[in-house]
RNA sequence: GCUGAAGUGGUGGAAUUGGUAGACACGUUGGACUUAAAAUCCAAUGUCCAUUAGGACGUACGGGUUCAAGUCCCGUCUUCAGUACCA
């Protein structure tokens, strides 16, 4: 009987769906186990073979846990809000909800054909109002909370209001905006409601604030750093500027320390934890306040010794009066180097810059500020070599020496880190050193026995401080402590811990995202829509682009106002600022919906609650989470933040959502390349017009298809690095004198030199192109537009590279055809067989025959009857020698497979199955005693064939909950060992000796062997090492 | 620069606490079956020397520890990923 995988797989997929085999129940006598995959974004391109890798691994684990008697929750859903659907909508006018639904359908079909054991009754879609209702609800909870540093948790905002009205805010230890003003209880009670709300907003865990963003005026949207290339937008190449905008933010910084500490109690990979630690970026040091002295005061201060008493007292007054005006606060990790400060540097965006700059320096400073504003942050970061800055003309006073310190601005200081200002210690910091050298600022040396003529000395361990008053002779640790103490004594500093982690901007100027449950009242203050009126559904819009006035796409909605009487969305025309108010136009970012979905699966269909308390208490958290490492600092950090917040509010029972996390590696595709001739980007349009005739002729020349040439490796490198010149082109085309003769033949009468301003570029092409010797019409490939003259040049040995699978690289392999040709079980086995789960590895469809043949062999093992009919002997247990061997094979396999699954080493268990099948085939094993438990072992990996054979064995129902076979070590006991006999560490021959033979007897036996004598050639061995059960080594 | 991971045949990759390097596959070659192909089965397959027997070399490179090193230690190089003027 043939192994008809297509029929078998369909049959069992239908069976599982019809019987809801994998539906998890909330509450059970069995212990719970929650296996989760990172849910996919349903893109239009569908799945490629890389996507299911992690799903297969988690599915194997989930199935294994079911065999072990766990109540397994293994859900799946879709992260269905996102940019591609919106982009498609902009291009085609098609509503994102429609395309998303279609894409989900495709995904579901593709997932189903692979035979996953998902509980689809719990499916979630982030773009579904019944889901995002709760995303909005969590947003409201965040809005209604503040972070109390005393209790170290989030609390209801009402507790803060109570404190304010009874004692003001001076004693409150809360995480809040930097610039909150102090007020007393009386002040608070006298404030009007608007003022009170403004203040509260500075404490809420989600808040509105002016944030500096990358704004692209042409696209009318904010761009993320990675959407900007060389200072212009990746899409369209439009200029991008830094701009302040009012945006919703999430006060994740409140949780910085807990996010850091929490890493210690979860079983995630070290590299991932390390990325999160770096991202949180804790650094311990001090904050130091420097008083700014006015320029005239500074001058008198400088000449103090020469001035009269009267003048001195006047200047002192001057100093005092001006120091009250401005203070510069800096953060430093090296307070021990405070006596090495020779200047200060502010970020150009620092708010003090305009206030302290002297009239003489104004022009220079303003020019510099403007110049930096034009550069994107990434641009600034990328260009670290160029030193630039400007002197403000202002001076600050050293807290101890009272010496004047010039205040500079420089773009190496980032506004977004610390306080946006640094005390510059050129002798101890490379950047400060370079800056000081460049602008001829003195570099005082405060390190004993260190030469700083060539560069700064930043080694903390070897530091001995000198020239530093009370810090002299101290090491880094001592000096730091003392410096902080002294700063505290004079009230100009304190020990401080700084985190790199910034509050997360939560507003997007997009259509296809969760709308905020927020309207703006007559004072322009944000108000939450009461939870019982959620969800606030996305409005319909005519177009998905920003409005002409630059408002986000929701600004196009005509029915987008909130009626506080009727508690529903009404037409904008009705806005009266009394009962009907405008709604928020921004939407939430992609990570909103994915930051809590793992909790929703526990009770996905609950309409009353986010999830019931019973469900949350039962499932607790994710036991195993599998997904890509690219989410290390995004999704995985935000989710931990929300989880901790929800924990503080008593909504969820644990403050870390996933106990164990594994990153699956990427499956890479093989790309092929060709080389195109393209109108040079540098060629001005006017030039094209002049030369249009020649350009067209060249185009005609190449128009009839693909040409094949030989290109050298060197030339290829040139092309890739955009260094190929026309001379190189001439060289290629002269090959075989092909160009000249062809040109004449066609009567085009052009010479190579006539074709001006042509670039040669490397482009991805479908692999079939490279394999084909035919001329191929490439005009149907959209990427190749009218700027392309047309020739495609292939190297003799087509260049291939292994890279990420992507539609644009034409290297995508779809699982669909593989399921048709080889079956889902083969696909599952092969994906696991490719290599370790975490590793990046290339895909090669050809190799699948190996695992496919194994499945056929396995099938045959159960069909050794007449004409290959199903035959498994269920005769008792004949103690024949054959079965002894088979038992050994079985138990060896049980042991190895169980170990492998628990170590997530799925690739080696596939090998183990192959070995088992090979051995049992050789043993001609037909015993049910062996072949039945074997099926349970294989079932997590290849569930369809396992179910089919399980049924044929006469079992009713699914194999999925059959108990995992128990390993019995007694079957593996060996009576003898084939000892490797080595001489000086080199294995020469083997010898079969009894297991229980003593060390001495082994040595005797080995020494008596003729080959030993041969090897020794008469010499007497110096030493004989015998490790019973392992090895014999003779040293001589 | 920093952090993390990794370097093993033509390819993907195996190798418990240091104990027979290259399991299991792919590919290649040869053979069987077939009119032929496919499928299937059998054999060989790290490199080099040798007719065989056998030998030398071999886990990025250079050292070291050890009876014994892919594995442990020191140094170097390369690749990949993340991150970056973080004060």
**In angstroms, how far is B26 C1' from A622 CA?**
37
What DSSP string describes A619-660? H-SEEEEEE-GGGTTTHHHHHHHHHHHHHHTTSSS-S-SEEE
A726 and A817 Cβ atoms separated by less than 8 Å: no
pLDDT more than 90, % of chain A: 48
**In angstroms, how far is B68 C1' from A920 CA?**
35
Q: What is the pLDDT of residue A859?
A: 92
Q: What is the pLDDT of residue A373?
A: 74
CB of A842 under 7 A from strand B? yes
Residues across chain A: 1036
Nucleotide nearest to A921 in CA–C1' terms = B41
* Burial class of A248 by CB neighbour count within 10 A (0 to 12, 13 to 18, 19+): buried
CB of A680 under 7 A from strand B? no
State the pLDDT confidence band at A996, using cuts at 50, 70 and 90: confident
What H or E segment, with its residue span, contains residue A33? Answer: strand A32-37
A1032 and A1025 Cβ atoms separated by less than 8 Å: yes
**Which of A26-30, A570-574, A780-784 comes out lowest in average pLDDT?**
A780-784
**In angstroms, how far is B2 C1' from A93 CA?**
47
Residues 966-985 of A with CB under 7 A from strand B: 978, 980, 982, 984-985
Nucleotide nearest to A387 in CA–C1' terms = B85
Nucleotide nearest to A498 in CA–C1' terms = B86
Residues 285-344 of A with CB under 7 A from strand B: 285, 331-334
CB of A351 under 7 A from strand B? no
Instruction: Write the pLDDT tens digit of every residue in A938-989.
Output: 999 999 999 999 999 999 999 999 999 999 888 888 788 888 888 888 888 8
Query: Between A213 and A367, where is the model more confident?
Result: A367
Q: What is the pLDDT of residue A962?
A: 95
Instruction: Write the pLDDT tens digit of every residue in A66-76.
Output: 999 999 999 99
CB of A270 under 7 A from strand B? yes
Nucleotide nearest to A856 in CA–C1' terms = B40
CB of A2 under 7 A from strand B? no
CB of A420 under 7 A from strand B? yes
Could you tell me the pTM of the whole model? 0.88
Instruction: Write the pLDDT tens digit of every residue in A393-444.
Output: 999 999 999 999 999 999 888 887 888 899 999 998 888 998 998 899 999 9
* Long-range contacts at A603-611 (CB < 8 A, ≥ 24 apart): A603/A26, A604/A75, A604/A121, A604/A122, A604/A123, A604/A124, A605/A121, A605/A122, A607/A130, A610/A134, A610/A137, A610/A138, A610/A651
Instruction: Write the pLDDT tens digit of every residue in A541-592.
Output: 988 988 887 788 999 999 999 999 999 999 999 998 889 999 999 999 889 9
**In angstroms, how far is B54 C1' from A887 CA?**
39
- The span from the CA of A594 to the CA of A640, in Å, is 11
| Residue A999: both structure tokens together | 């060390």
Q: What is the pLDDT of residue A607?
A: 93
CB of A923 under 7 A from strand B? no
Nucleotide nearest to A277 in CA–C1' terms = B3
CB of A540 under 7 A from strand B? no
CB of A629 under 7 A from strand B? yes
Query: A751 φ, ψ to 5°?
Result: -110, 160
- The span from the CA of A483 to the CA of A287, in Å, is 11
Q: What is the pLDDT of residue A370?
A: 85
CB of A180 under 7 A from strand B? no
**Which of A395-399, A474-478, A785-789 comes out lowest in average pLDDT?**
A785-789
CB of A417 under 7 A from strand B? yes
b or e along A384-403 (b: 16 or more beta carbons within 10 Å of the residue's beta carbon)?
Answer: eeeebbbbbbbbbbbbbeee
**In angstroms, how far is B49 C1' from A768 CA?**
43
Nucleotide nearest to A385 in CA–C1' terms = B85
According to DSSP, the residues that pair with A676 across neighbouring strands are: A761, A792
Residue A628, C-beta contacts closer than 8 angstroms, at least 6 positions apart:
A38, A54, A663, A664, A666
**In angstroms, how far is B12 C1' from A674 CA?**
26
CB of A249 under 7 A from strand B? no
- The span from the CA of A1019 to the CA of A1036, in Å, is 7
Res. A934: pLDDT tops 50: yes
- The span from the CA of A726 to the CA of A782, in Å, is 26
Residues 878-907 of A with CB under 7 A from strand B: 905, 907
Nucleotide nearest to A412 in CA–C1' terms = B85
CB of A284 under 7 A from strand B? no
**In angstroms, how far is B21 C1' from A253 CA?**
51
Nucleotide nearest to A417 in CA–C1' terms = B86
Instruction: Write the pLDDT tens digit of every residue in A350-400.
Output: 888 988 899 999 999 999 988 887 765 555 655 666 788 999 999 999 999
**In angstroms, how far is B12 C1' from A920 CA?**
26
Nucleotide nearest to A1025 in CA–C1' terms = B67
Q: What is the pLDDT of residue A117?
A: 96
Instruction: Write the pLDDT tens digit of every residue in A677-730.
Output: 665 555 444 544 555 565 566 656 655 544 555 555 566 666 665 566 666 666
- The span from the CA of A1020 to the CA of A1036, in Å, is 7
CB of A855 under 7 A from strand B? no
Residues 498-527 of A with CB under 7 A from strand B: 498, 500
CA atoms within 13 A on the CB side of A460: 9
SS3 content of chain A, % helix, strand, coil (to 5): 40, 20, 40
**Which of A233-242, A257-266, A504-513, A894-903 comes out lowest in average pLDDT?**
A233-242
CB of A857 under 7 A from strand B? yes
Nucleotide nearest to A424 in CA–C1' terms = B87
Question: Residue for token digits 């103490």?
Answer: A485
| Chain B footprint bases within 7 A of protein beta carbons | 3-5, 11-15, 19-21, 23-27, 40-41, 55-56, 67-69, 80-87
* Long-range contacts at A755-758 (CB < 8 A, ≥ 24 apart): A755/A677, A755/A694, A755/A695, A755/A698, A755/A789, A756/A683, A756/A687, A756/A691, A756/A694, A756/A695, A757/A679, A757/A680, A757/A682, A757/A683, A757/A687, A757/A691, A758/A677, A758/A678, A758/A679, A758/A680, A758/A698, A758/A726, A758/A729, A758/A789
What is the β-pairing status of strands A241-250 and A343-346? unpaired
Residues 375-414 of A with CB under 7 A from strand B: 380-381, 383-384, 386-388, 411-414
A812 and A48 Cβ atoms separated by less than 8 Å: yes
- The span from the CA of A859 to the CA of A825, in Å, is 12
Instruction: Write the pLDDT tens digit of every residue in A840-895.
Output: 888 888 889 999 999 999 998 898 877 778 888 776 444 455 577 888 899 999 99
Res. A514: pLDDT tops 50: yes
Q: What is the pLDDT of residue A737?
A: 60
Question: Mean of the pLDDT values across residues A832-841?
Answer: 91
Q: What is the pLDDT of residue A785?
A: 55
A236 and A219 Cβ atoms separated by less than 8 Å: yes
What H or E segment, with its residue span, contains residue A67? Answer: helix A52-67
Q: What is the pLDDT of residue A740?
A: 66
Helical pair A726-734 and A738-745, crossing angle rounded to 10 deg: 80
Res. A1016: pLDDT tops 80: no
Instruction: Write the pLDDT tens digit of every residue in A299-321.
Output: 444 433 344 444 444 444 444 44
According to DSSP, the residues that pair with A204 across neighbouring strands are: A146
Question: Mean of the pLDDT values across residues A741-749?
Answer: 66
pLDDT more than 70, % of chain A: 82
CB of A865 under 7 A from strand B? no
CB of A422 under 7 A from strand B? yes
Query: Between A450 and A790, where is the model more confident?
Result: A450
**In angstroms, how far is B84 C1' from A229 CA?**
17
Question: Residue for token digits 């910084």?
Answer: A253
Q: Is the peptide bond prior to A535 cis by the omega test (within 30 degrees of 0)?
A: yes
Q: What is the pLDDT of residue A207?
A: 94
**Which of A75-79, A490-494, A639-643, A874-878 comes out lowest in average pLDDT?**
A874-878
Q: What is the pLDDT of residue A716?
A: 62
Q: What is the pLDDT of residue A797?
A: 47
State the pLDDT confidence band at A803, using cuts at 50, 70 and 90: confident
Question: Mean of the pLDDT values across residues A516-531?
Answer: 94
CB of A633 under 7 A from strand B? yes
């Amino acid at each position: 009987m043939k192994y008809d995988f297509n029929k078998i797989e369909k049959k069992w997929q239908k069976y599982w769906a019809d019987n809801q085999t994998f539906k998890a129940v909330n509450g059970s006598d069995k212990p719970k186990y929650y296996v989760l995959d990172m849910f996919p974004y349903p893109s239009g391109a569908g799945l490629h073979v890389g996507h299911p890798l992690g799903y297969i691994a988690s599915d194997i684990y989930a199935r294994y846990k079911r065999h072990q008697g766990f109540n397994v929750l293994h859900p799946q859903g879709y992260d269905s809000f996102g940019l591609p659907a919106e982009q498609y909508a902009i291009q085609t006018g098609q509503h994102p909800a429609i395309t998303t639904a279609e894409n989900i359908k495709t995904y579901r079909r593709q997932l189903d054909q692979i035979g996953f054991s998902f509980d689809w009754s719990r499916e979630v879609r982030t773009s579904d109002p019944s889901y995002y209702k709760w995303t909005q609800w969590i947003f409201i909870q965040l809005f209604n909370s503040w972070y109390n540093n005393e209790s170290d948790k989030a609390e209801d905002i009402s507790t803060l209001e109570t404190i304010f009205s009874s004692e003001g805010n001076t004693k409150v230890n809360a995480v809040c905006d930097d610039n909150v003003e102090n007020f007393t209880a009386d002040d608070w009670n006298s404030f009007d409601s608007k003022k009170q709300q403004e203040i509260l907003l500075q404490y809420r865990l989600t808040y509105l604030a002016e944030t500096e963003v990358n704004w692209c005026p042409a696209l009318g949207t904010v761009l993320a750093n990675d959407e900007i290339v060389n200072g212009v937008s990746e899409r369209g190449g439009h200029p991008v500027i830094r701009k302040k905008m009012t945006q919703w933010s999430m006060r994740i910084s409140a949780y910085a320390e807990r996010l850091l500490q929490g890493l210690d109690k979860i079983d995630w990979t070290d590299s991932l934890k390390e990325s999160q630690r770096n991202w949180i970026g804790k650094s311990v040091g001090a904050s130091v306040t420097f008083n700014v002295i006015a320029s005239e005061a500074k001058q008198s201060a400088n000449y103090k010794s020469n001035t009269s008493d009267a003048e001195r007292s006047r200047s002192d007054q001057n100093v005092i009066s001006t120091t009250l005006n401005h203070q510069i606060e800096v953060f430093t990790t090296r307070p021990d180097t405070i006596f090495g400060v020779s200047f200060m540097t502010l970020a150009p965006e620092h708010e003090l810059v305009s206030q302290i700059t002297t009239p003489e320096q104004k022009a220079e400073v303003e020019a510099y500020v403007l110049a930096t504003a034009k550069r994107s942050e990434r641009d600034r970061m990328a260009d670290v070599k160029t030193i630039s800055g400007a002197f403000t003309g202002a001076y600050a006073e050293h807290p101890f020496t009272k010496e004047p310190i010039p205040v500079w601005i420089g773009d190496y200081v980032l506004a977004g880190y610390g306080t946006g200002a640094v005390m510059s210690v050129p002798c101890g910091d490379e950047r400060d050193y370079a800056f000081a050298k460049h602008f001829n600022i003195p570099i005082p040396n405060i390190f004993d026995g260190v030469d700083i003529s060539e560069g700064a000395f930043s080694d903390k361990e070897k530091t001995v401080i000198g020239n530093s008053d009370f810090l002299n002779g101290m090491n880094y640790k001592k000096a730091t402590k003392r410096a902080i103490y002294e700063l505290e004594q004079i009230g100009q500093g304190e020990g401080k811990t700084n985190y790199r982690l910034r509050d997360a901007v939560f507003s997007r100027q997009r259509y296809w995202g969760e709308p905020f449950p927020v309207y703006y009242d007559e004072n322009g203050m944000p108000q939450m829509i009461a939870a019982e009126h959620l969800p606030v559904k996305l409005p319909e819009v005519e177009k998905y682009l920003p409005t002409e006035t630059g408002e986000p796409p929701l600004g196009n909605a005509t029915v987008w106002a909130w009626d506080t009487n009727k508690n529903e969305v009404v037409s904008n025309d009705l806005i009266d600022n009394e009962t009907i108010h405008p709604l928020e136009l921004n939407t939430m970012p992609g990570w909103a919906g994915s930051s809590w979905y793992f909790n929703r699966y526990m009770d996905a269909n609950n309409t009353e609650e986010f999830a019931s308390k019973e469900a949350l208490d039962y499932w607790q958290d994710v036991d195993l989470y599998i997904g890509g490492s690219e989410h290390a600092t995004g999704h995985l950090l935000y989710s931990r933040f929300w989880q901790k917040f929800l924990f503080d509010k008593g909504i969820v029972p644990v403050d870390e959502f996933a106990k164990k996390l594994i990153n699956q590696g990427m499956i890479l595709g093989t790309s092929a390349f060709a080389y195109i001739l393209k109108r040079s980007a540098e060629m001005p349009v006017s030039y094209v017009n002049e030369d249009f005739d020649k350009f067209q002729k060249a185009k005609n020349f190449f128009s009839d298809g693909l040409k094949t040439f030989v290109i050298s490796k060197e030339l290829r490198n040139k092309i890739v690095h955009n260094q190929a010149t026309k001379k190189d082109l001439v060289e290629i085309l002269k090959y075989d004198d092909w160009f000249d003769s062809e040109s004449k033949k066609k009567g085009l009468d052009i010479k190579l030199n006539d074709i001006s301003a042509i670039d040669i570029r490397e482009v991805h092409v479908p692999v079939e192109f490279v394999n084909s010797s035919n001329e191929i019409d490439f005009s149907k490939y959209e990427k190749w537009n009218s700027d392309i003259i047309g020739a495609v040049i292939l190297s003799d040995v087509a260049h291939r590279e292994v890279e990420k699978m992507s539609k644009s690289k034409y290297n995508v392999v779809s699982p669909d055809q593989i399921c048709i040709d080889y079956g889902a079980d083969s696909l599952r086995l092969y994906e696991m067989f490719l290599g370790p789960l975490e590793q990046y590895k290339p895909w090669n469809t050809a190799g699948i025959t190996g695992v496919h043949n194994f499945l056929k062999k396995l099938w045959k093992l159960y069909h050794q009857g007449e004409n290959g009919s199903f035959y498994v002997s269920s005769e008792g247990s004949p103690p024949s020698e054959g079965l002894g061997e088979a038992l050994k094979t079985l138990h060896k396999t049980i042991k190895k497979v169980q170990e492998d699954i628990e170590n997530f080493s799925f690739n080696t268990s596939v090998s183990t199955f192959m070995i088992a099948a090979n051995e049992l085939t050789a043993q001609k094993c037909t015993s049910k005693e062996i072949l039945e438990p074997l099926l349970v072992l294989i079932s997590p990996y290849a569930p369809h064939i396992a179910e089919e054979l399980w049924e044929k064995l006469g079992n009713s129902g699914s194999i999925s909950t059959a108990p995992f076979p128990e390993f019995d070590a007694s079957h593996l006991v060996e009576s003898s060992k084939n000892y490797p006999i080595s001489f000086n560490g080199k294995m020469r021959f083997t010898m079969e000796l009894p297991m229980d033979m003593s060390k001495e007897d082994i040595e005797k036996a080995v020494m008596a062997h003729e080959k030993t004598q041969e090897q020794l050639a008469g010499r007497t061995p110096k030493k004989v090492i015998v490790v019973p059960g392992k090895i014999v080594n003779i040293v001589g």
